[in-house]
């Protein structure tokens, strides 16, 4: 029991280290120095608290994964840290697991930053505001090499994940027979509408986000997210094709999604009615094209059969088919 | 005349509820008691690199079987009325089975098919028809060359998987070994039926095998 309490104190102290305000900007070179300080501080804490087994492993993890904030003296900060750290434990929700990876921390900051987007737009200030609500210093935006791009990509990934989850749930209901399966056109329309509705809270600043996504260094990531989105939607719509249809369907849906998104940012009708009408029309177009293609193919085959029949009739009439 | 009236089997890929349902149920509740497909061939993994490697392997294998299917189709189109046609039909049916198995795997694991499938469609048919125009021996020589390339390719895949982790990939190894054995059988059948007696056999074989190697290389990446 005493060892457990010591372990908790050590964990809290380490979080305190992270939240200390940094003088000057964080740079990658500083990270290693900071990690060194971290480890020194950690060893001092561990030896002071005299707990041998329970403290080092979890704290070592934290040292490995948390890379920011420095301290000149661990002892000085630990008391300060102990006060301002209850928020972390509340947020992580678990008392035993007192470490998280850098990616998880970044994700938390970006999620918190999203509520400031209407105020500051898709910028580094938004991320700083988000970090501050978590009790971190605004200089922790240095963690994000891509700045606002990180925020937009995180938001997109979050929306796509949410959509995939919802579609999977709906799929489960259909599999269990508790819901009707939709026709493909209707399914696509609903899925794209659901995904675009996630943009509504941020629609005023969305053109800024779109332009950030068009920056050359962001294009690969944004294309990856877009292709994952379209693949997910088609998968849950029931597409199991393994030929060139795989590509044509996804290309068509990508076109539909992008154009509808563009219409949405300049749509001022109530509840974006015009956007949904536009979406409906585009999907109808694609369905029409697919049907037309099938009809053309069927007609072509029928024509070929007709011609072969005519040729054979001609051969019969001219007597060329007879055995000599 | 009957050839033109053979109905086309349209694969309605969006409406395979039974198989798909069973597949979903299989994936959600392991171990499986009553399932149409009793096992999962690709081991589920969270490692991105491993997933990419497995997907690449399945993509190129699918492209290979697709091409082989078209080659036999081309051969049948030319030699369909001759004495060799039952043999070619039999080998074609086995390739169709392989292709449908890979279609299943691709759909189940959401693997992207290669972009060059239309190219392999045309190239395979042209190769099959072209070699068949050289007569039965030409068709057999083409079969020998292609099946040798495919067997070699499957063997290198088996080697890769064995080097990584034989236990994890048991099902996949079993599948590839089975297919490789089928392809070797086709190869031997081709040799039995006077493949080597076609004029320019060595040259033809070298060209076809070079083409196959290039096709495999490109399909893995695209």
* pLDDT value for B165: 86
pLDDT tens-digit profile of A91-144? 544 544 567 788 888 999 999 999 999 999 999 999 999 999 988 888 888 888
Binding residue ranges of B:
65, 95, 98, 147, 183, 186
**Structure confidence at residue A58 as a pLDDT band (50, 70, 90):** very low
Q: Is the pLDDT of residue A160 over 90?
A: yes
For residue A222, the model assigns a pLDDT of: 95
- Closest residue, chain B, to A231 (C-alpha): B110
pLDDT at A231 over 50: yes
* ipTM computed for the complex: 0.77
**Which residue has tokens 């795997």?**
B105
> Are B106 and A242 within 8 A, CB to CB?
yes
A312 near B CB under 8 A: yes
pTM of the model: 0.71
Residues of A in contact with B113 (CB under 8 A): 242-244, 246
Nearest Cβ partner of B117 from A244, A305, A312? Answer: A244
The confidence score (pLDDT) of residue B197 equals 87
Confidence of residue A210 (pLDDT cuts 50, 70, 90): very high
The percentage of chain A sitting over the pLDDT mark of 90, rounded to a whole number, equals 53
B115 to A247: CB separation less than 8 angstroms, yes or no: yes
CB contact under 8 A, B1 and A312: yes
CB-based contact (8 Å) between A286 and chain B? Answer: no
**Chain B neighbors of A312, CB-CB under 8 A:** 1
Which residue in chain B has the smallest CA separation from A311?
A: B1
Residues in A closer than 8 angstroms to B8, CB to CB, are 301
């Amino acid at each position: 029991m005493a060892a457990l309490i010591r372990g908790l104190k050590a964990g809290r102290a380490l979080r305190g280290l992270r939240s200390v305000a940094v003088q000057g900007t964080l740079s990658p070179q500083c990270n290693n120095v900071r990690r060194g300080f971290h480890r020194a501080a950690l060893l001092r804490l561990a030896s002071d608290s005299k707990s041998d087994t329970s403290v080092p492993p979890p704290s070592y993890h934290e040292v490995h994964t948390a890379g920011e904030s420095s301290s000149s003296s661990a002892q000085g900060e630990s008391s300060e840290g102990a006060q301002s750290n209850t928020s972390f434990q509340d947020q992580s929700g678990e008392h035993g697991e007192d470490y998280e990876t850098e990616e998880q921390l970044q994700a938390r900051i970006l999620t918190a930053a999203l509520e400031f987007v209407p105020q500051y737009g898709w910028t580094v200030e938004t991320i700083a505001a988000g970090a501050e609500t978590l009790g971190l210093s605004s200089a922790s935006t240095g963690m994000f090499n891509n700045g606002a791009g990180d925020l937009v990509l995180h938001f997109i990934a979050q929306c796509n994940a949410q959509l995939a989850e919802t579609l999977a749930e709906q799929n489960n209901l259909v599999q269990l027979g508790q819901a009707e399966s939709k026709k493909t056109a209707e399914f696509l329309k609903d899925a794209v509408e659901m995904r675009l509705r996630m943009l509504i809270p941020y629609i005023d600043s969305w053109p800024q986000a779109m332009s950030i996504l068009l920056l050359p260094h962001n294009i690969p990531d944004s294309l990856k997210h877009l292709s994952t989105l379209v693949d997910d939607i088609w998968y849950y719509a029931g597409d199991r094709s393994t030929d060139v249809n795989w590509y044509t369907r996804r290309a068509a849906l990508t076109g539909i999604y992008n154009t509808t998104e563009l219409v949405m940012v300049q749509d001022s009708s109530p509840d974006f009615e015009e956007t949904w009408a536009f979406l409906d029309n585009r999907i109808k177009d694609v369905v029409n094209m697919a049907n037309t293609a099938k009809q053309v193919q069927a007609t072509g085959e029928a024509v070929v059969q007709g011609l072969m029949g005519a040729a054979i009739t001609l051969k019969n009439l001219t007597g060329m088919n007879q055995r000599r | 005349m009957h050839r033109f009236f053979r109905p086309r089997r349209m694969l309605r890929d969006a409406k395979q509820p039974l198989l798909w349902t069973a597949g979903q149920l299989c994936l959600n509740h392991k171990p499986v008691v009553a399932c149409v497909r009793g096992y999962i061939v690709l081991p589920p993994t969270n490692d991105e690199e491993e997933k990419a490697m497995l997907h690449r392997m399945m993509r190129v294998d699918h492209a290979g079987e697709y091409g082989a299917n078209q080659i036999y189709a081309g051969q049948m189109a030319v030699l369909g009325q001759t004495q060799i046609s039952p043999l070619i039909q039999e080998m074609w049916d086995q390739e169709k089975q392989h292709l449908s198995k890979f279609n299943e795997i691709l759909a189940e694991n959401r693997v992207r098919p290669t972009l060059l499938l239309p190219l392999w469609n045309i190239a395979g048919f042209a190769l099959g028809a072209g070699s068949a125009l050289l007569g039965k021996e030409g068709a057999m020589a083409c079969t020998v060359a292609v099946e040798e390339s495919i067997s070699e390719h499957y063997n290198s895949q088996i080697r890769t998987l064995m080097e990584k982790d034989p236990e994890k990939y048991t099902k996949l190894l079993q599948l590839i070994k089975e297919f490789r054995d089928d392809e070797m059988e086709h190869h031997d059948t081709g040799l039995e039926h006077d493949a080597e007696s076609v004029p320019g056999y060595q040259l033809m074989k070298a060209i076809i095998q070079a083409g196959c190697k290039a096709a495999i290389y490109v399909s893995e990446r695209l």
